[in-house]
Structure 1
Amino acid sequence: MMRQKVKEGGKRGISINMLVFILGILICASLLTYIIPAGQFDVNPETKALIPGTYHAVEQTPVNLWNALRNIFTGMTNSAKVMSIVIFMGGALKVIISTGAVEEFLNWAIYKLQKKGIAVIVPLMVILFSVLSAYGGNDSFFAFTVIGVAVAAKMGLDPIAGMAMTYFATSVGFAGALKGRTLVAQGIAEVPLYSGAGWRTVWLFVITGLAVAYALWYCFRVKKNPARSFMDNTDWIVGGPQGDIKKELFNPMSLLVIVITAGSFILNAVMGVLKGWTYPEQVAVLLIASTVCGLLYRKSPTEIAESFAKGCQSMGFVAFIIGLGGAIALTMTQGNILHTMVNAVAAPLMHVNKGFGTIAMFW
C-alpha cells in the first residue's frame, strides 16, 4: 500500500499510489456506514436540491465491504458522462499539442522577450501562460518550466522565478479555466455547463493580476539581493542554465492554432449560455477544432488519429479514478451517512456570512 523512498540527504518519504489511496477511501467509507448515524434531508422533487432544516435520523443501513466493491462498477456507469468527456478532452488536446504549435509560439515569444527588463517580461509571461492554460492548455504546459528557468537565468534570477513565470502561471490559468476542468467539475456537480462563465472570466483576470504582482515582487526581491532567494543559497548563480535562448522565427500558423483552440472553447461557452449546448456539442466542436489544427500542420488523418488515441490513453486512469469517486459517493448514499456528514459541516455555517461560509466549506 505504501512504500518508502530515499530522498536526497538520506531522508525517507512515503509514496502512495493514487489507485491504492482511493480504494482505501472506499474501504473507509464502507466502515463509516457502521459508525456514523444514518440520516437524510428531505429533497425538493422538482430541483432535487436538499431542503435546509429537514434533516432527520433514519434506520442504519451499513454497506459491507463486498457491496462497496460491487459499487465500483455502478459508480463508473453513473459517472460515464464525465469520464467520457475527460477521455475525449485528453485526445483532442493531445492532437493540438502534438502539432508543436503551442511550443513553437511560446519559444518565439520568449526569444523575443528575453532581453526585456523584469518589469516587461515577467508580467507578459505570467499573463501568456495563465490565459493559454485557461482556454486551451493541459498538464503538458508544465513542461515549459524548463524554458522559464532558462529565461530567469538570463535575467539574473533564480529557478523559482522561472517557475513563477511558467508553472505558477499555468496553475493560475487552470484555476480560472473555462475549458476541460470546468466541464468536468460542472458535470459532477450537475450544474449547467459554462454557467457563471462571465464571472469566471472576471475572476481569471483578477487572479492573474495578483499572480503578476506576486511574481514581480519576488523577481525584484531576488534581483536586488540574490541572498534573499527562497532557495536559501546562491548556488544557482553559478549552477543555473547558461547561454542564449534558441532563436525561433515567428510562424503565423502557430498563432492560428492557438486562436482556433481558444476560439473553440469560447464558442462552446457562448453557445452553452445562448443555446444550451452541452457535452454532445462540445465534443463535436472540439473534434473539428483539433482536426483542423492537425491538418494545418500537415498531419495525415492517421497521424491525427494516433495522437488522439495517445491522448485518450493518458486520461484513461484519470477517468477510472473519477469512477471510483462515484463508488465512494454511492457507498455513503446507500449507508445514509452522506447527508449526516453534510449536516454536520453545514449546520454551524448557517449562522455566518455566506462569503465566509463558502470559504469555510472549501477548506
Structure 2
Amino acid sequence: MELPQQPPPRQPEGCLTVAIRIPVRIVVLVLVVPVRMIWDVLAAAARALHLTILRPTGRALKWLGHTLIVVPLTFLGHCLSWLFRMLVVVPVTFLGHCLSWLLRTLVVTPLTWLWRWLVVPVWRYGVVAPVAWLYRYVLTPVGHGIAWVAAGVAAGLVWIASGAWAGLSWVAAGLGAGLAWVARGIGVGLAWVARGIGVVVSAIGTALVRVGLILFVVPVGWFYRHVLTPIGHAVAVVVREVAAAFGHAWRIAGHLSRAVGRGLKWLGWQLVGRPVRWVWRTVCAPVLRWVRDTVWAPVKRAAVEAGRAVGAALGTAGRTAREALASARDTVRQARADAWRALVGGPPREPAPHPARTLGSTTTASGAVPAPEISLHKTEG
C-alpha cells in the first residue's frame, strides 16, 4: 500500500512578497470581475444561439436539401443510368461481340495458321540452319587460329615490358632516396623556425588574455552579481504575484458569474419557461399531433405507394431488356456457329426440339399433329 505523498513544504516568503500580494490581488480582482462577467454572458449567449437557432436551422436545411435535391437527383441518376445502359452499353456490347468474332475469324485465325505452317518452317530451315553450319564449320576454326596468334604476340610484348619496367624501377629508387634526404633536412629547419614563432605568439596571447580579463570580465561579473541579479529577483517576484493574483481573481469572478447565472436562469424559467411549456403541452402538441395523423400520414403513404409503383415499372422494363439481350446473344451465337460451319465444314445443326404439350400446359408444339381423341366406349368395343 502506497502512502499518500505529502505536499512539499512551503518556502519562507520575504517581506517584499507579502507587501505586494494583497494590494495587487485587490486591484486585479476589481479589474477582472467585469471582464469575467462579460465573458460568461457572451459564452452563454453563444451556447443558447447554437442550441436554439443554429443547430435546428442546420438540421432543417439538411433535411430540406436531402428531400428536394438529393432524392430527386438520385432518382434522376438511376433513370439516366438505366437509359444509358439500355441505349448505349447494350448496343455497344453487342457490336463489340460481333466485331470480336469477325476479327478472330477473318484475321487472327488466318494469321495464326500462316505463322505456324509457313513463317516458322521457312525461318528454321532457311535461315537458322545455314547460319549455324557456317558458324560451326567456318567461323569457329578461323577464330581459334586468330586466338593462338594473338596469344603469342601478347606473350612477347609482356616479356619486353617487364624488362623495361625493371630498369625504370631501379632509376626511380635512386632518385627517390636523394630527394628524401634533401626534404628531411629542409623539414628539420622549418620545424625549428616554427617552434620559435609559436613560443612568441603564445606569450603575446597570454598577455592579451590577462589584460582582457582584468579590464572587461571582472567589472562585468561584479555588475551582474551585485546589480542585475537583485533587480531580476525583484521583477520575478512582482511578475509571479501578478500572475497568481490574476488566477485567483479569475476563479473568484467565475464563482460570482455562475451564482448570477443560476439566479437569472431561475428567474427566466419562472417568467418564460413555465408559460411556454404550458402553451406547448396544451395547444401546440395536440395541433401538431392532429396534423401528423390526418395530413402527413396519408401523404407519406401515397408517396410510398407511388415509389413502389415506379420501382415495379422499372423492374419490369429491366427484365424485358435483359430478356431481349439474352435473345440477341443466342441469335449471334447461332449465326457465328453457322458461319464457322460454312467456312470449315462440319455436321449439320439439328433443329432445337420444341417443347411438347404437357398436362398442365395449354400450348401445342408448332408443326405437331394433334393425337386423335378416342373415347372410352370405342376402346372397350
Which fold has the larger relative contact order, with Cα–Cα distance below 8 Å and residues 6 or more apart in sequence? 2
Structure (1 or 2) with the larger CA radius of gyration:
2
Which structure has greater helix proportion? 2
